[in-house]
Structure 1
Amino acid sequence: MPGNSAPKIRLAALVIACAFGLPIHAATEPPAPAQAQTRAAVTAYEAGQFDAAIKGFAEAAQKGNRLAQFNYAMMLLRGEGTTAKPQEALVWLRRAADNQMTHAQFTFGDLYERGELVPKSLEEANRWYERAAQGGHVQAQVALATNYFTGRGVPLDYGKAFTWYSKAASAGDGSAQYIVGSYYERGYPGIVDKDIEQAKIWYARAASHGDPGALAKLRSLLEEALRARSQM
């Protein structure tokens, strides 16, 4: 298995989503092909029956099921039920990505950012992150926002960073909620006006995820408001 890349790319979350019937496609999309076959492969995988799982994923992948394509790629990459085949894994990962699977697109971005299995390229990473982010992938939205905020592989752009952080924050990402709060606390001319009430709201949302920094910020802003009232 090449390097340490395989353990960093997660199969389990997607397997569980399929196994418990969580939505993988938007409601307006037609049913995915080979769903029953993919579910059977998921069951086999969770039972540790990797030979049956990889066979099922391979067959469903050939029929165009994008979850199967991704999971087949991950099994090939990690050498589960087969010898590790990183280049073949990349082929199937690309098929899943081109099949509009946002997690596969995000994974490609992550590989390019780290330079694992593919040549390191921040520009290519951001192209993949943007495809996934446009499809609603929250991790990709945060990654893209962060790269715009720091100017990694894209021109530094606090406005675009705020746009993508806001999307991730609205989807419930705690780290993005904290950053959106900081935008409102400071104010960025031409991007967002200073708004302490909005800052409190977003810090409170981040704090609800257990972020101690957000909780400290919220307490500080509330204390400042109380002091200001007492001096009126």
Structure 2
Amino acid sequence: MTSTTLIISAICFLVLMACMFIASTIARQKRERREKRRQEIAYRKAMQQARAQEHSDKVFKAETGHIATQLYLAKEAERNQPKEALYWYEKAAMQDNEIAMRGIVRVCQRAQSDPIYQKKAQFWQLAIRALQGSNEAKVEKAIALIEGLGVDIALEKGIQEMQEVAELGYIDAIIYMGDWCQSPKNSERSYPKAATWFRRAAKMQSTVGMIRLGELYEHGKGVPLDIGKAGYWYELAGEKGDVNAQYRAGCLWSNAGVHTVAYVWLFMAAKSGHAESVKQRDVVASAIGVDVIVGLQALAKPLHQKIAKGDVVKHSIIKALNKLYSRPIYFPEVTAKTAETDSKLADSQVTSADDATQIGAKTEQVSHEQPKGTSNTSYALDQQSAFGMDAVNFGTHAN
């Protein structure tokens, strides 16, 4: 074997060894890359599992009412998953969190073309005002919860919030609670509870409360049936200018057969534009003589003017009608001191000092029926005189 052959053999061997080394290196690198990819995949899976577990833990925590976690999940989803963001924001907002409420408004306002989202935004704007202390907003929010306006119906929460506002003495809430207590939609309907709420409103000078309480007494719901008390509350609201109360007082006394009193209230309500009062007034008029009607109109017109101006003292019309007509009217109990004050005030309103004796004598003779042996004209004049229209002062005073 020549030296050339040896050299060639050596070179071939070296080339073969180099190729084997290169092949081995390439194979090792492939194994390393595969292992690295396997490890990366395993790491990503582990991270995904960890994140999934972390998210699951956060979801569980948020579902159990943790506000901070609810806000975190909502903010995380707000950009790309608005529905999920709203879900978590609402969870926190229902716990009276203002940040969550503002988040709902923000998300909903981005969907300006969606009327459902806009109603939802309006509700939570209302909720923000309620949270900041507006009693009006609290009442509106409670109604929205009860009726599902811009939010899922939450009857129990809505009634609870309404009662909280009512307990603070806010009239609209008190009236709503009274209405709710007698509502057929209330599975625990209670007329006595309704009467309690309406009485509270009435004592706070709410004419709606007075009318509602009068209705309960008129029909004997939750309270004993008592026409006198019903008439008192209707007339008290009527003195304050409530036309509906005047109409109800007229109808009440018409049904009770006290047509003269009924006509006075119906006349005033009709003069204020109450359509039903016009019809009922004409029905009552058919039971009264023409001359008496003329006298009653002369009596009612100045009263209507005083009421329209707000110049009527509390109880003044009721007391005057009590002196004029025999009727089963109720009057609230008062202390001895208050009674003495009211008596003096009533005297100043019903008659002047000079004519007190004369008018008092006349009023004792007046009843709801025309006395026998008197003409319609003289009876009407006696009615007007006994009422003391020239002497009665219905001006404003402290009660």
Q: CA-atom RMSD, angstroms?
A: 3.3
CA distance in 2, matches of 1:172, 1:118: 35
Question: Which residue pairs with 2:154 in the alignment?
Answer: 85
1:151 CA displacement: 1.9
Equivalent of residue 119 in structure 1, options 180, 188, 199: 188
Question: Which residue pairs with 2:245 in the alignment?
Answer: 176
CA distance in 2, matches of 1:123, 1:63: 33
CA distance in 1, matches of 2:138, 2:207: 21
Relative to structure 1, is the Cα distance of residues 120 and 185 closer, same or farther in structure 2, using a 3 angstrom cutoff?
Answer: closer
Q: Does 1:215 align with 2:281?
A: yes
CA distance in 2, matches of 1:77, 1:120: 16
Q: Give the residue type in structure 2 aligned to 1:228.
A: N
Which digits, 9 at most, give the CA deviation of each residue in 1:162-221, with x for residues without a partner?
221112212333342134346667889xxxxx693x544312122231124333146434
Which digits, 9 at most, give the CA deviation of each residue in 1:115-170, with x for residues without a partner?
43450111111111111222233232112112112221112333322221112212
User: Identity across aligned pairs (percent)?
Assistant: 27
Larger relative contact order, structure 1 or 2 (CA cutoff 8 Å, min sep 6): 1
SS of the aligned residue for 1:114 comes to: coil
Q: Give the residue type in structure 2 aligned to 1:94.
A: Q
SS of the aligned residue for 2:275 comes to: coil
Relative to structure 1, is the Cα distance of residues 104 and 187 closer, same or farther in structure 2, using a 3 angstrom cutoff?
Answer: same
Q: Give the residue type in structure 2 aligned to 1:102.
A: I
The unaligned stretches of length 5 or more in structure 1 are 1-47, 189-193
SS of the aligned residue for 2:182 comes to: helix
Equivalent of residue 139 in structure 1, options 208, 212, 224: 208
1:110 CA displacement: 1.3
Relative to structure 1, is the Cα distance of residues 166 and 61 closer, same or farther in structure 2, using a 3 angstrom cutoff?
Answer: same
- More helix per residue: 1 or 2? 2
CA distance in 2, matches of 1:82, 1:121: 28
Relative to structure 1, is the Cα distance of residues 195 and 85 closer, same or farther in structure 2, using a 3 angstrom cutoff?
Answer: closer
Q: Assess if the C-alpha contact under 8 Å between 1:141 and 1:168 holds in 2.
A: yes
Relative to structure 1, is the Cα distance of residues 200 and 89 closer, same or farther in structure 2, using a 3 angstrom cutoff?
Answer: same
Question: Which residue pairs with 1:204 in the alignment?
Answer: 267
The unaligned stretches of length 5 or more in structure 2 are 1-114, 295-374, 379-399
CA distance in 1, matches of 2:224, 2:200: 18
Question: Which residue pairs with 2:356 in the alignment?
Answer: none
1:62 CA displacement: 2.0
Relative to structure 1, is the Cα distance of residues 170 and 151 closer, same or farther in structure 2, using a 3 angstrom cutoff?
Answer: same
Question: Which residue pairs with 2:163 in the alignment?
Answer: 94
Q: Which runs of 4+ in 1 moved over 6 A?
A: 183-188
CA distance in 2, matches of 1:183, 1:115: 25
Question: Which residue pairs with 1:67 in the alignment?
Answer: 136
Question: Which residue pairs with 1:229 in the alignment?
Answer: 377
The structure with the largest alpha-carbon Rg is 2
Q: Assess if the C-alpha contact under 8 Å between 1:105 and 1:132 holds in 2.
A: yes
Q: Assess if the C-alpha contact under 8 Å between 1:103 and 1:137 holds in 2.
A: no
CA distance in 2, matches of 1:205, 1:84: 43
Relative to structure 1, is the Cα distance of residues 117 and 62 closer, same or farther in structure 2, using a 3 angstrom cutoff?
Answer: farther
Question: Which residue pairs with 2:176 in the alignment?
Answer: 107
Q: Assess if the C-alpha contact under 8 Å between 2:207 and 2:237 holds in 1.
A: yes
CA distance in 2, matches of 1:186, 1:224: 22
Q: Normalized against structure 2, the TM-score is what?
A: 0.40
Relative to structure 1, is the Cα distance of residues 80 and 181 closer, same or farther in structure 2, using a 3 angstrom cutoff?
Answer: closer
CA distance in 2, matches of 1:115, 1:182: 25
Q: Give the residue type in structure 1 aligned to 2:376.
A: A
Relative to structure 1, is the Cα distance of residues 52 and 80 closer, same or farther in structure 2, using a 3 angstrom cutoff?
Answer: same
Q: Normalized against structure 1, the TM-score is what?
A: 0.64
Q: Does 1:55 align with 2:121?
A: no
Q: Assess if the C-alpha contact under 8 Å between 1:66 and 1:99 holds in 2.
A: no
Q: Assess if the C-alpha contact under 8 Å between 2:251 and 2:280 holds in 1.
A: no
CA distance in 2, matches of 1:187, 1:155: 17
Q: Assess if the C-alpha contact under 8 Å between 1:73 and 1:92 holds in 2.
A: yes
Which digits, 9 at most, give the CA deviation of each residue in 1:40-94, with x for residues without a partner?
xxxxxxxx74233222221222232210110011111222221111111112211
Q: Assess if the C-alpha contact under 8 Å between 1:113 and 1:121 holds in 2.
A: yes
Relative to structure 1, is the Cα distance of residues 203 and 222 closer, same or farther in structure 2, using a 3 angstrom cutoff?
Answer: farther
Q: Assess if the C-alpha contact under 8 Å between 1:115 and 1:121 holds in 2.
A: no
Q: Assess if the C-alpha contact under 8 Å between 1:148 and 1:155 holds in 2.
A: yes
CA distance in 2, matches of 1:222, 1:151: 33
Question: Which residue pairs with 2:40 in the alignment?
Answer: none
Relative to structure 1, is the Cα distance of residues 224 and 218 closer, same or farther in structure 2, using a 3 angstrom cutoff?
Answer: farther
